[in-house]
Structure 1
């Protein structure tokens, strides 16, 4: 069937045959065309069966749509030919009602297009969904609008012409997702024009993950048909085929020829579409919905169908559903909407974003904009533009004329037109003609591309301009084209100028795209922004920057000299948290708990990321509200961890300075920690709780209750998990070290809150690791608890180095000791000793492979521990190279290597502890104040009166003596 259809298409589009005359009154409008198609079907298919049914069915579809009393205007999205035909038809017909194929709930937004610079997209957005799977959130539907589009011409005409009503008749945004199976072809990420469509970089992502809705998605759904058209049309992609064989001929045709040709193409693509039941059902439901809405509006308003215009895609214009037409049978109800709350607004769009979302060729929308401008100059058709639109020319009307037109309804429709005659037969045989204007334009392109190539480092000359001109004509002739297209010119420029190297950042193909108009990026005006976005711009006004423009703006904040800029700093830090990377980037300055900013420097690109800022407005009326909602959402997520909830609480304090929200999230973090049964987040929990403790101890008179509860619960929680974590293979050494770090660093506070140290001692006693790294970590914990002396720990390491069977695993013990600095920073000197002994005694075949592991361990999990080792090594090792030969490590210097002396526990005043304390009465006074002892001195010597107190408290004296001995 594919070969037969290919022959039939060739027969239809062949050029040079005489055009048939107009059919007589006794014949139907398309009887001559039907007869020709019957002959073609019999010749190419060896029989008039299947092929004849398809070809004659296409003519029947066109005839049915043309005879409909409510005029159907078929269009293709972002087609300059459709826009030109629409502008012509609106000025002649002057309809009173315009029905538009667009989501019916987007109607209130269309008036806001006056405040924008096209292209922009109408968006429906939902974050709080009800009735859809949670993983779909957020939901987003966009409908891009460009000036070179038929829908914009219809919108501008309806909104600026008094007495004209614009009615959107397509399904709602909610039903877009109700009827959508979330298949890949919905957004066409990898269209036939190339993977990902356009390579527009940042601009290609202006629509995000939104589902695109456009008027007239006209493209073959039958892969073999599209492949055949591209091969026989000698083009690379569908956009080029459409420009050559549809766009150019229709741009010069009259209304009826345009209308019938578009209907014929829509019928062809519809009849050769694959039998996808889901997609077919969605298409038919949309058509039933649109015709039902139009009949309901006609019945309610009493408008004559002859005064209306129905603007839809050519694919839907030839619908075969029973509801088709003003006299269609039955009605259709799409069903109720879900409880999802939808927000509506305008977001900036671009040519690259449209190309990427709808699978168009790179540069095709820019070329369409260039063709649109060329058609306006050539035909002198005055397009419709919304009053106040950026780039629109003011209308020149006298006051009386303006008042008269405002008060008068639109002109009545002319007398009913005669039934449309067959224009297809002649139009399909008409060859395109190359006129002098096209040659002049091609010459201008050739000169301009050489000039652009020179600016970008190419060694181009006037000879290259001539070569590009002649090569463009040659390529067009080789491809059976009457005149070169922009795509022919692009290929010729690449061949003649680029040659074999690209000296600069842009190649010739990209230079041609820029020359043809480039990627135009729209902008939403201040008046059309949501309240949140306007509030952001107002609060950043003291910076005196044009933040709505695209590009990067440098902001310098001298907060010390201008304290009012601190509010701008708060806004910028919140924007940095909420917006994508690059929208607000700090160059100088940082925000930490407990610190106030002095000077800051920022790179701001809010105009470039206007879409993200607008979508924030769908979530709340201020950035503080949005930030609080996001922090709550992250904290109360079912998969949230204790570390994540602590991070949310810290951000609430850091950015919002909200004690209420921080206390709420902290209490929730306590509950999440109690429910956790793994230690994956222990390092992050330790880091954040230490930071919060340091902040509240300096900024608040007392610790918040949730902090005390968190420390108390965390102490018991990690004591319970410690024995299991030591033997669990899934628990890493860093995670176990973080648990010990929490227990040892929080021990003083936990014991003061009622915890029992026996829990920790029992947990360590019940731990029996087999992994060397964890074994070393356990030895460090025993040393910290006092169950293992430093001398015994050094002796164990010496035994490991003396055992040949254990030497290969000794580096893993050292890794454990490195992580042990987290819970026991007092072992820094011992770790330096152990590493030094390893470098001195390990063989090279063991030491050298271990060095990368040591470096990566310090870099990934011990970046904060490396300064401790460096500082201790700098204190121990000599500072000069000449001193190294005579240097003896302190752990080999005799007494230092011996066993530690037992602490003196004597209650007599003449004991070692009593003498030491008597020599330092100020220290004793401070300890007495901490213990609450306000009794007077009991000795006659004022300088020695602390001795009596030490005699009464011998345990305290012994503890202080031991502490001072370590120092």
Structure 2
């Protein structure tokens, strides 16, 4: 490389070299460092200009670059266009004609092989707008016969291969300097977290340099500096001046970049990669380099690698791609998304689009547009490429010296344009709730001129006008959703959002549009649309309903939102109403197409992925079973996932998911019992295994500090509610009885749960349970903890709903007997407990309390609680026994009943009594307890 530079004649930039060398000696203590930088920049420009294969440096989304490319393509008519863009994106470029710009070419991979699993999904996007140099090159190459377009940048796979630090941004536009804050609009997230790769990353990577330029340029951010000092001066420049200035800027930023070795290596490897690919193509096709044009970023055009040029070395070895399977497609983009991803100032891309339109009208240069491009005019027929001019035969002239010497052009103030801006921003402010008037329009007009003068500008730029509008209109508050700064951005060019046409959509997205066609909606239109489905009168709409429910499951919130109607197991839809925004969420729908050819396939893959995830629980797998039944109506998939749920449950050693498992198993059992002739084999096995599993964990869960009362109650609920089915499948009830007998909790709430379980098993009577509660209330040491026992009883309604009346009784006794210092602090705890963990149990208590308590206030004074009324007859029994034979009058009146009961008990004695009457009185006298029990039974009947 040094030999090449030494042999280069210095006549082209000799005068400029001399001036820079003199300036270095004047302003630097020692001329070596500064002289090396300044003269090195000239050498970079000279080397790039003399390259036989014409290098055309550009900056991304620069109207001046796009205009210069369009002008040069019409003059030169190259046969081959080399473009700095990921080489694997080439097949998608022809689909741009079916889209409305801006859009982004995307490479997407979900199943990664060769990269860390936490990086998945991998996504690379290259946004394209009409005011971009790459679009001009693409449109020229695709619509001109005999022209070949070759993408030469690294592949999407290499983008991540070279990302050794795992930041997903090495060498991409996302790694620019301090980004200017993007607008907080929804369109700013259209690219998601994809890596941005774009032609022409041109921004200082040296923070001090950028700060110096902004301070001395009297601007706020980089986009404004570029617009003022590069974009406007180069808008009307000739071809040679444009190339040399852009090469000089690229060399300056390259030589003043910080010493980030990884980033420098990635930049140089990209340049080696591109020149290697170009030489390979030249050798294979035999094309003359003079008939080619290389469109790349100015940063990479001023390269110093040994592989630079058609005569560079061939020492760079391009490594193989990984085994990752990449999918490619087009996704909608927007100006805000581009600004957010590449660190540009809010509104800068919209302003660039406005400047592009003005430059086209002023210069009368005809830009290239793809034939059939949505929103574009019909292109004229392209001429057959003319023979390329031998550029190497004419030595380039020095245009840098004259450009750097000339004073800045003073653009005359266009009062009509500025006045139109001022009137329009006031009108937009009024529509958005501002109290703006004609006086504000005048103030904005005058303030714009004042700010431009303070910043040494003869004509206010859009950024000056934006500052003036904020100062004069916004005042202190923002009454609407948008502030004045955002209103100026919309007024200047608006945030244009692209759209991918139907023909360019992946098969899945086209299938969704076809299946939703009966709704008669413009699904590609942005915004929310209302769909009404009267399935009862139009049964064919049920298939649309199935698609909508699957889209709701798969796509982001808001893309398909049900307003009326729900989907439950075992129910068929009748009427539904939906809010659809598929056009707004087109990117998400397109990315679904990367996962499969139909939404059913994608949903099945995601359910399997959820069920077989390393950290899947029995509850999550049962949820997948329910979703497979609910959305896909697939018994095959439900059986497969059900077997997986059984495997996961057997391996679990905690009870964290017990409430969710109980809720979903009950729901699935109810569905299968009403819709299937027999239960599936997997759910029978699940109940049988779950019964033994929870019996084993029950004693430990009662004493485990990490387990909550709700989780223990859910375990008991599974055991008691599934008991009949489990016993019919061969389980042993003794296992449950032993598990309860081995449980010895210390916590009051879990102790109450244990008592409820003992009542359900018949090991504890209600009278004993009532006695235990009375004992607790009578013990002053236990009274403060009694509310926790009540919380346990409330949770016990899950496994033992028959205790609802007793829980009402216990709560009523607590309210009647507990002192206020104990009761009042406990009430918030009871309410929060019911709301968080027992929301479904509160209706049981409310209904039971409504049945027991009087409905009117007047009846409350004479009301006797049922549990007290039951105690009074029992208290009267000993007195009747002491009175003698009067206890047996009822038995004597019904001897047949007593004889039948006696025969059941195996008693053959006859009636004996001192009082004349029927036979059997003596037997009743000898068995007073049986007699009293029978009397109470008959009295109740």
Normalising by structure 2, we get a TM-score of 0.91
Rounded Cα–Cα distance in structure 2 between residues aligned with 1:503 and 1:717: 60
Structure 2 equivalent of residue 944 of structure 1: none
CA contact (8 A) 1:226 1:238 kept: yes
Instruction: State which of 68, 78, 82 in structure 2 corresponds to 1:95.
Output: 78
1:364-422 per-position Cα deviation (integer Å, ceiling 9, x unaligned):
1111111111111111111100000012211356xxxx7xx4xx455443665622222
Rounded Cα–Cα distance in structure 1 between residues aligned with 2:940 and 2:576: 44
User: How far 1:898 moved relative to its partner?
Assistant: 6.1
User: How far 1:563 moved relative to its partner?
Assistant: 0.3
Rounded Cα–Cα distance in structure 1 between residues aligned with 2:873 and 2:805: 13
Structure 1 equivalent of residue 910 of structure 2: none
**More displaced 10-residue stretch of structure 1: 235-244 or 138-147:** 235-244
User: How far 1:462 moved relative to its partner?
Assistant: 2.6
Q: Do residues 786 (structure 1) and 769 (structure 2) align?
A: no
Structure 2 equivalent of residue 738 of structure 1: 714
Structure 1, unmatched stretches of 5+, are: 1-24, 902-908, 919-960
Instruction: State which of 546, 556, 569 in structure 2 corresponds to 1:580.
Output: 556
Q: Do residues 383 (structure 1) and 367 (structure 2) align?
A: yes
User: How far 1:531 moved relative to its partner?
Assistant: 0.6
CA contact (8 A) 1:791 1:899 kept: no
Structure 2, unmatched stretches of 5+, are: 1-7, 878-894, 905-934
Rounded Cα–Cα distance in structure 2 between residues aligned with 1:26 and 1:667: 79
CA contact (8 A) 2:78 2:385 kept: no
Q: Do residues 204 (structure 1) and 156 (structure 2) align?
A: no
User: How far 1:452 moved relative to its partner?
Assistant: 1.6
Partner secondary structure for residue 735 of structure 1: helix
Distance 1:600 1:341, change over 3 A: same
**More displaced 10-residue stretch of structure 1: 416-425 or 736-745:** 416-425
CA contact (8 A) 2:52 2:289 kept: yes
1:51-71 per-position Cα deviation (integer Å, ceiling 9, x unaligned):
111111111111111111111
1:641-682 per-position Cα deviation (integer Å, ceiling 9, x unaligned):
111111111111100000000001001110110011111111
Rounded Cα–Cα distance in structure 2 between residues aligned with 1:173 and 1:900: 91
Normalising by structure 1, we get a TM-score of 0.88
Structure 2 equivalent of residue 281 of structure 1: 265
Distance 1:884 1:483, change over 3 A: same
Distance 1:301 1:178, change over 3 A: same
Instruction: State which of 570, 577, 580 in structure 2 corresponds to 1:601.
Output: 577
Distance 1:863 1:962, change over 3 A: farther
Partner secondary structure for residue 99 of structure 1: strand
User: How far 1:466 moved relative to its partner?
Assistant: 2.1
**More displaced 10-residue stretch of structure 1: 413-422 or 169-178:** 413-422
CA contact (8 A) 1:193 1:238 kept: no
Structure 2 equivalent of residue 311 of structure 1: 295
Rounded Cα–Cα distance in structure 2 between residues aligned with 1:606 and 1:963: 69
CA contact (8 A) 1:193 1:237 kept: no
Rounded Cα–Cα distance in structure 1 between residues aligned with 2:276 and 2:177: 34
CA contact (8 A) 1:161 1:410 kept: no
Q: Do residues 818 (structure 1) and 821 (structure 2) align?
A: no
Q: Do residues 41 (structure 1) and 24 (structure 2) align?
A: yes
Structure 1 equivalent of residue 636 of structure 2: 660
Rounded Cα–Cα distance in structure 1 between residues aligned with 2:226 and 2:607: 49
User: How far 1:711 moved relative to its partner?
Assistant: 0.3
**More displaced 10-residue stretch of structure 1: 474-483 or 771-780:** 474-483
Instruction: State which of 200, 203, 211 in structure 2 corresponds to 1:216.
Output: 200
Distance 1:891 1:288, change over 3 A: same
* Number of equivalences: 885
Structure 2 equivalent of residue 86 of structure 1: 69
1:417-455 per-position Cα deviation (integer Å, ceiling 9, x unaligned):
622222122212334434457333222211211222222
User: How far 1:841 moved relative to its partner?
Assistant: 2.0
**More displaced 10-residue stretch of structure 1: 668-677 or 45-54:** 45-54
Instruction: State which of 294, 304, 307 in structure 2 corresponds to 1:320.
Output: 304
Partner secondary structure for residue 500 of structure 2: coil
Partner secondary structure for residue 421 of structure 2: helix
**More displaced 10-residue stretch of structure 1: 185-194 or 462-471:** 185-194
1:829-887 per-position Cα deviation (integer Å, ceiling 9, x unaligned):
11111111222222222222222221111111111111101000100111111111221
Instruction: State which of 824, 840, 851 in structure 1 corresponds to 2:827.
Output: 851
CA contact (8 A) 2:516 2:544 kept: yes
Rounded Cα–Cα distance in structure 1 between residues aligned with 2:587 and 2:77: 36
**More displaced 10-residue stretch of structure 1: 71-80 or 456-465:** 456-465
CA contact (8 A) 1:446 1:465 kept: yes
Rounded Cα–Cα distance in structure 2 between residues aligned with 1:966 and 1:767: 38
Rounded Cα–Cα distance in structure 2 between residues aligned with 1:762 and 1:61: 87
Partner secondary structure for residue 163 of structure 1: coil
Structure 1 equivalent of residue 774 of structure 2: 798
Distance 1:880 1:915, change over 3 A: farther
Partner secondary structure for residue 98 of structure 1: strand
Structure 2 equivalent of residue 226 of structure 1: 210
Instruction: State which of 110, 116, 122 in structure 2 corresponds to 1:133.
Output: 116
Q: Do residues 58 (structure 1) and 41 (structure 2) align?
A: yes
Structure 1 equivalent of residue 149 of structure 2: 166
Rounded Cα–Cα distance in structure 1 between residues aligned with 2:898 and 2:228: 103
Distance 1:204 1:964, change over 3 A: farther
Structure 2 equivalent of residue 590 of structure 1: 566
User: How far 1:161 moved relative to its partner?
Assistant: 0.4
Structure 2 equivalent of residue 930 of structure 1: none
Structure 2 equivalent of residue 948 of structure 1: none
Map residues 303-382 of structure 1 onto 2, 5 A cutoff: 303-382=287-366
**More displaced 10-residue stretch of structure 1: 442-451 or 298-307:** 442-451
Tell me how large the CA RMSD over aligned residues is.
2.5
User: How far 1:914 moved relative to its partner?
Assistant: 7.2
Distance 1:412 1:28, change over 3 A: closer
Rounded Cα–Cα distance in structure 2 between residues aligned with 1:273 and 1:964: 101
Structure 2 equivalent of residue 460 of structure 1: 436
Distance 1:588 1:965, change over 3 A: farther
Rounded Cα–Cα distance in structure 1 between residues aligned with 2:436 and 2:686: 72
User: How far 1:576 moved relative to its partner?
Assistant: 0.5
Distance 1:862 1:913, change over 3 A: farther
Structure 1 equivalent of residue 663 of structure 2: 687
Structure 2 equivalent of residue 565 of structure 1: 541
CA contact (8 A) 2:760 2:800 kept: yes
Distance 1:709 1:498, change over 3 A: same
Instruction: State which of 265, 286, 302 in structure 1 corresponds to 2:286.
Output: 302
Distance 1:602 1:966, change over 3 A: farther
Rounded Cα–Cα distance in structure 2 between residues aligned with 1:102 and 1:912: 101
CA contact (8 A) 1:791 1:897 kept: no
Partner secondary structure for residue 382 of structure 1: coil
CA contact (8 A) 1:120 1:350 kept: yes
Distance 1:232 1:842, change over 3 A: farther
Rounded Cα–Cα distance in structure 1 between residues aligned with 2:152 and 2:620: 46
CA contact (8 A) 2:214 2:221 kept: yes
Rounded Cα–Cα distance in structure 2 between residues aligned with 1:378 and 1:848: 81
Structure 2 equivalent of residue 552 of structure 1: 528
Structure 2 equivalent of residue 748 of structure 1: 724
Q: Do residues 474 (structure 1) and 450 (structure 2) align?
A: yes
Structure 1 equivalent of residue 606 of structure 2: 630
CA contact (8 A) 2:508 2:597 kept: yes
Instruction: State which of 486, 507, 517 in structure 2 corresponds to 1:531.
Output: 507
Rounded Cα–Cα distance in structure 1 between residues aligned with 2:178 and 2:937: 76
User: How far 1:76 moved relative to its partner?
Assistant: 0.9
CA contact (8 A) 1:532 1:623 kept: yes
1:309-350 per-position Cα deviation (integer Å, ceiling 9, x unaligned):
111111111111110011001242321111111111000001
Structure 1 equivalent of residue 239 of structure 2: 255
Partner secondary structure for residue 414 of structure 2: helix
Rounded Cα–Cα distance in structure 2 between residues aligned with 1:489 and 1:468: 7
Distance 1:648 1:203, change over 3 A: same
Partner secondary structure for residue 82 of structure 2: strand
